[in-house]
A = this chain, B = another copy of it.
Amino acid sequence: MKKADINSTEIARLAGVSRSTVSRVINNYSNVPAETREKVLKVIQQYNYFPNVSAQVLAGKRARTIGLFLIEQGNVSGDMLTNMLIVSVIEHASEHGYYVLTHIIRDAKDTEMIKNVKEIFFQRRIDGGIFIGAASHEPFIEELIDEGFVIGIVDQTLSDHPEPNRIVSKYNNDSGMKQAVAYLAGLGHARIGVINGDMNRLSGQTKYEGYQTAMRMCGLQVNPNWVLDGDFHENSGYMAIQKLISQEADLPTAIIAANDSVAFGAIRALKEHNLRVPEDLSIIGFDDHAMSEKHHPALTTIRVDFSDMLKRMTTYLITKIEQKTLDTKEITVDCSLVVRESCRRI
């Protein structure tokens, strides 16, 4: 009530200097003698003074805030991965003295919602933003990039003429799928199906392509009836299996799911049909979701180091915001097989 009302004029008066000097001390200007500096700092300390951030921003400083935008229709809360992503960004931003404003976009097609997102940038609430879960091509994000905002996009590749304000991270899904197929092939599987992710997202496509390539490399046939639609959500895995079982007499011996959530859904559906994993059918997931280890059966999956990716993305974003660099940034994320209990030898 009292201390909160202190401003730089007041500090200047109390320290017997001008506001200019107070500002110089706060901003660590070199041309302030140690003595003056100490004097001012003492008053600042004593009165618990913190410069008003709006005034600072208006005068040209950065907001030191980045936006984190999650494009996710389902209940974000249900997914541990999302949690990890949020916390990961917050913690790494914090290390650089930045804050994170998190925003959830339920529907990237809703004009109102998009306007709201743009507003956050144009209002200058944030110095830059990270998008997670976007489609391969999302017009409003492109618009933001055209406006010059510094933007990081997870799961995207750089074009031939990348803008300097675009940062991108891509998963090595090709490698992941090759490992999955190789492992299954090694266990003796030849009848391998796949439940796809959202094909509007880069990972949806690249995972499917990776699957096809890997199958070919291993000399295995892709049975189109075992290529199932999905969208990265648990329920789509469930539905995919329901549909497969109701329509196909001839089942695969193994299925690779676009991610672990999808795998969980698939296993749930299999259980309902009294099919056991891995006894009757082997399942491999993707991501290494926090739940996968605890799952019953423990899920064999392709681990992706999201935390490290987000750390790098956050750091690059902040570096770009502070204009220390103008080079283009494309982060590549490797993935590796984690063997657990959801696949068996045949």
Contacts and interface: CB of A to CB of B under 8 A. Distances in A.
Interface in A271-318: 290-291, 294-296, 307
Given A78-B290, A123-B50, A147 B83 contact: no
Nearest to A49: B122
Contact of A57 (B4, B54, B76, B119): B54
Given A76-B87, A86-B86, A3 B147 contact: yes
A324 to B, nearest CB: 20
B83 A53 contact: no
A82 interface: yes
Contacts of A119: 50
Contacts of A100: 101-102
Nearest to A295: B294
B147 A125 contact: no
A246 B265 CA distance: 40
Contact of A80 (B3, B83, B90, B147): B83
Contacts of A1: 146-148
Interface in A114-146: 118-120, 122-125, 146
A108 interface: no
Nearest to A1: B148
A94 interface: yes
Contacts of A294: 291, 294-296
A8 to B, nearest CB: 13
A77 interface: yes
Interface string A214-230: 00000000000000000
Given A55-B58, A147-B1, A48 B88 contact: no
A63 interface: yes
Nearest to A165: B1
A78 B294 CA distance: 13
B52 A58 contact: yes
B86 A125 contact: no
A99 interface: yes
A122 B101 CA distance: 18
A123 B101 CA distance: 16
Given A50-B123, A118-B50, A102 B90 contact: yes
Nearest to A296: B296
Contact of A94 (B50, B63, B86, B103): B103
Contact of A65 (B58, B87, B101): B101
Interface in A39-78: 48-55, 57-58, 63, 65, 75-78
A84 interface: yes
27 contacts: A1-B148, A3-B122, A3-B147, A4-B122, A4-B148, A4-B149, A48-B118, A52-B123, A54-B55, A54-B58, A75-B87, A76-B83, A77-B83, A77-B84, A77-B87, A78-B290, A80-B83, A83-B83, A86-B86, A86-B102, A90-B102, A94-B103, A99-B101, A99-B120, A100-B102, A294-B294, A294-B295
Given A52-B123, A54-B54, A94-B104, 8 more contacts: A3-B122, A4-B147, A49-B122, A53-B125, A65-B101, A80-B80, A87-B104, A90-B104
Question: Which 6 residue pairs are nearest across A and B when measured between Cβ atoms?
Answer: A83-B83, A50-B122, A54-B57, A53-B123, A77-B84, A54-B54
